[in-house]
Amino acid sequence: MTQYLAVTAMGTDRPGIVNQLAKLTASCDCDIIDSRMATYGNEFNLIMLVAGSHTAITLMENQLPAKAAELDLLTITKRTSEHVPQNHIARLAVEYSGENRRGTMKQITQCLEDLGQDLAGMRTHADADENGTALQQLELFINIPEGTDTDHLEVQLRELGDQIGLDCRIRRMDLNENTN
């Protein structure tokens, strides 16, 4: 029976980290089912879902700490189950942009929770323009469950943008379109 392990690894970015973790995964007779990698400043972050037999997953759990120490990485693992997709009728890409203000993400995520929406992914970036004005860009990916009036939801998301002083653009995505 296939078992699953969620693995998070973080440390100073440098070439070869992903290769070393992929080699370890393969040597434990596990498969990488899903993964995301990003760098933030000089920090590397990898999240992956690994699958294998009970023995293979146990071997991965036992060998990962030594590899992490060798690579100077912090790692966290958690046994989990296979992802079962929810039945969604649509997916939205929502982009908010404008002047950077503290608490914006809190307001947006609170609104989504209040509306019962499933945040499937997000990207954020804050920087200053050439005049020194602090700007932010937030891109959210929302899975829309059955029974949701998508047109009304879009109106509510645009109204939120007006309330918090950010421009809002919404794009309807194909359900199979990747959120990376």
pLDDT in tens, 50-99: 999 999 999 999 999 999 999 999 999 999 998 776 778 888 999 999 99
pTM: 0.73
Cα(135)–Cα(6) distance, integer angstroms: 34
Q: pLDDT tens across 91-126, in order?
A: 899 999 999 988 999 999 999 999 988 888 899 888
Predicted local distance difference test score (pLDDT) of residue 179:
57
User: How many CB atoms lie under 10 A from the CB of residue 11?
Assistant: 17
Structural contact between residues 42 and 12, judged by C-beta atoms closer than 8 angstroms: yes
Location of structure tokens 């992929």:
22
Distances (CA, A) of 71 to 32, 40, 52, 54, 57: 19, 18, 23, 26, 20
Distance CA(168)–CA(139), nearest Å, equals 10
- The Cα–Cα gap between 71 and 93 comes to 36
pLDDT confidence tier of residue 177, bands split at 50, 70 and 90: low
Bridge partners (DSSP) listed for residue 45: 10, 38
Separation of alpha carbons 58 and 10, rounded Å: 21
Single out the residue of 114, 126, 118 nearest to residue 94, CA to CA: 118
Helices (H), 39-136: 54-71, 104-114
